[in-house]
Amino acid sequence: MPDFEALWLHAELATMVPAPDDPWGVVHDGAVAVNGGRIAWVGASAEVPPDAVKSATHVRDCGGAWITPGLVDCHTHLVFAGDRWREFALRLKGATYEEIARAGGGIRSTVAATRRATEEELLAGAEARVRALAARGVTTVEVKSGYGLETTTEIAMLRVARRLAEALPVSVRTTFLGAHTLPPEYEDDRAGYLRLVCEEMIPRVAHEGWADAVDAFGERIAFTPDEVRRVFEAARAHGLPVRLHADQLSDQGGAALAASFGALSADHLEYTSLAGVRAMAGAGTAAVLLPGAFYVLGEEHAPPVEALRSEGVPIAVATDLNPGSSPLLSPLLAMNLACVLFGLTPDEAVAGMTRHAARALGLDAEIGTLEAGKRADLAVWEVMHPAELCYWIGGDPLLERVVAGEPAPL
């Protein structure tokens, strides 16, 4: 066994590499060894030679604490300005998401505030939100644009998202979401806005390298299947993978449309049909469940979890952190809600924020499990079992967060 730069010893490991009788992939009294920011070895502490322990620069005796892969929040909208707490109050009085959106609230109100903000103001707000996620175990976060709806602000949002990885110990993936809603200046020119998205925005974010993927909101209050298809064709022409906000408020055939483009993921899925689920399974498209929005909007039609299970679709879980429908700063609460509202088991929820979330970002070869060769993103927890990550409401069990092999401040 070679020398190691860092070692975490005497931990209970939830590797999230499932076995037939163990969905957690547990290694009791285990150790994780790191070299060059990557996991070099995973196994029993008793199998680590004493010389390797002595030569390591960093050795942590975990004293029986649990280690999981770092959590992956694979769907957020955390770069924005302004707030929408007034809409929360309106919904409590009976207003629906669609009614608020059609009255000029919703996404458009955040667009107006975001357009007025400076990049430094956007960065300050986004940093605070990422710190909250990191304090609960997140090591990788996906960040969407979509609150600019014009080229300059959309790129500014993506630039701010990339700056988060420079300012904080966290890995960031960016997603261009120009097709989020129709901006007010294009109210009477849908075709003109689609041309802007497809012929100017997507080519530019692809050429300049600002986005890792392209997303769209396929819904009655947003974009039709034909419009989404145009956006995805433009993304494909410029070499960018796609994702889709699909079937959240109605069955628009979004899951099947996403699958037809080999999408990394289809997200929300409350109204997805069995045919849509089967299309996702055939295409290898991951499902991303977003229980925060389901909870805040008071929805009652849950995603087809049993069909997703039976068809073998990878099920990810994310916060959907945004100022309107999911002001959720805790990945742990997202997992709890996924269990309580959607019927996921604790091991499914944790897999949904590790292994399957990595899959939804196209990063499953890089992160999401504790395996040799993968990036050394770890979360160390003071729990009796990792199921507690989904059980406690409002707890803070994180002891240590490790990003690319480096202990990161909480």
39-56 per-position pLDDT tens digit: 999 999 999 988 888 889
181 and 62 share one domain:
no
146 and 281 share one domain:
yes
87 and 145 share one domain:
yes
384 and 246 share one domain:
no
Could you give the C-alpha distances from 394 to 71, 320, 329, 381, in angstroms and in order?
Answer: 17, 18, 11, 14
Q: Residue 398 has what pLDDT?
A: 98
In a domain, 109, yes or no: yes
In a domain, 349, yes or no: yes
Question: Does residue 13 contact residue 26 with C-beta atoms inside 8 Å?
Answer: yes
Share of the chain above pLDDT 90, in %: 90
Out of 323, 342, 360, a domain closes at: 360
Q: Residue 29 has what pLDDT?
A: 98
Given pLDDT bands bounded at 50, 70 and 90, which one contains residue 317? very high
Does residue 68 surpass a pLDDT of 90? yes
Mean pLDDT of the 390-394 span: 95
Q: Residue 380: beta bridge partners?
A: 67, 400
pLDDT in tens, 170-184: 999 999 999 999 999
The residue type found at 59 is V
143 and 164 share one domain:
yes
3-state secondary structure of 15: coil
Does residue 243 surpass a pLDDT of 70? yes
CA-based torsion, 294, 296, 297, 298: positive or negative: positive
Out of 360, 380, 400, a domain closes at: 360
Q: 31: burial class by Cβ within 10 Å (0-12, 13-18, 19+)?
A: buried
Among 140, 171, 174, smallest CA distance to 157 is for 174
Q: Residue 397 has what pLDDT?
A: 97
Q: Residue 97 has what pLDDT?
A: 74
CA distance 73 to 107: 21
CATH number at residue 217: 3.20.20.140
Mean pLDDT of the 375-401 span: 97
CA-based torsion, 341, 91, 215, 82: positive or negative: negative
pLDDT in tens, 82-109: 988 888 888 888 888 778 777 767 888 9
Any long-range contacts for 387-391 (C-beta under 8 Å, 24+ apart)?
387/346, 387/347, 387/350, 389/68, 389/137, 389/332, 389/335, 389/346, 389/349, 389/350, 390/332, 390/335, 390/336, 390/338, 390/339, 390/346, 390/349, 390/350, 391/336, 391/346
355 and 381 share one domain:
no
57 and 198 share one domain:
no
In a domain, 214, yes or no: yes
Does residue 122 surpass a pLDDT of 90? yes
Mean pLDDT of the 299-305 span: 97
Task: Say how many Å lie between the first and final Cα of the chain, rounded.
Answer: 32
In a domain, 186, yes or no: yes
In a domain, 374, yes or no: yes
395 alpha-carbon distance from chain centroid = 21
14's tokens: 């939830």
Q: Describe the crossing of helices 151-167 and 107-116 by its angle, rounded to 10 degrees.
A: 80
53 and 181 share one domain:
no
The owner of tokens 């790129």 is: 155
In a domain, 29, yes or no: yes
Question: Does residue 168 contact residue 202 with C-beta atoms inside 8 Å?
Answer: no
* Range from 23-32, 107-116, 226-235, 370-379 carrying the lowest mean pLDDT: 107-116
Domain that holds residue 110: 71-360
Q: Residue 61: beta bridge partners?
A: 9
Number of folded domains in the chain?
2
The owner of tokens 């109605």 is: 250
Mean pLDDT of the 254-266 span: 98
Given pLDDT bands bounded at 50, 70 and 90, which one contains residue 1? low
CA distance 43 to 172: 29
65 and 75 share one domain:
no
145 and 293 share one domain:
yes
> Which residues are CB-contacts of 140 (< 8 A; sequence separation ≥ 6)?
70, 71, 72, 73, 74, 170, 171, 172, 173, 357, 358, 361, 363, 367, 377
In a domain, 1, yes or no: no
Mean pLDDT of the 7-33 span: 97
278 and 310 share one domain:
yes
60's tokens: 């942590």
Mean pLDDT of the 8-17 span: 98
CATH number at residue 27: 2.30.40.10
Instruction: Specify the pTM.
Output: 0.96
Question: Does residue 110 contact residue 177 with C-beta atoms inside 8 Å?
Answer: no
Q: Residue 104 has what pLDDT?
A: 67
18 and 96 share one domain:
no
In a domain, 233, yes or no: yes
